[in-house]
Amino acid sequence: MRILAFLLDLLVCTVAADAAALLATAADWFWASAWRGALGWIWAAAAAGALTAFLLRDTAGGRARRWLALEAVRPDGSPPGAINSIRRNLPLLVPIWNLFEAWPVLRDGSAARPADRRTGIRIVSTG
């Protein structure tokens, strides 16, 4: 379930950013052709938005996890917050390191990732 929640979070982050960038691109292309040079900036902003949404996805416990009756919590039971969410998700963006992070979850779906152990965050069932 954790892997499915991760993939759903990726989908939500990228679809929202891409939809906004596609709308801005269409508006630029059809109604503001003088601004076509800004298309690269539009897509760079969309990428930055998707990256930010991914890093902050656990701030309130995790969007997709709530859909699957899972939640990321600190040891006291509260949501991780922005800083812990970034600390937990940043290793997933670094090539090779992300494989090291994902390996425990791939072997055993309930295992803690190294970033979870460092931040004290655990994934609990809410259902």
Matching residue, tokens 């929640």: 5
The answer to whether 82 and 59 have CB atoms below 8 angstroms apart is yes
* Alpha-carbon span 74 to 76, nearest angstrom: 5
pLDDT at 110: 79
Over 80: is that where the pLDDT of 64 sits?
A: no
Overall pTM > 0.95: no
Burial call 66-93: b when 16+ CB within 10 Å, e when fewer:
eebebbbbeeeeebbeeebbbbbbebbe
Interval 91-124: pLDDT, tens: 999 999 989 988 988 888 778 899 989 989 888 8
**Between 64 and 49, where is the model more confident?**
49
* Alpha-carbon span 63 to 6, nearest angstrom: 10
**pLDDT-derived band at 48, boundaries 50, 70, 90:** very high
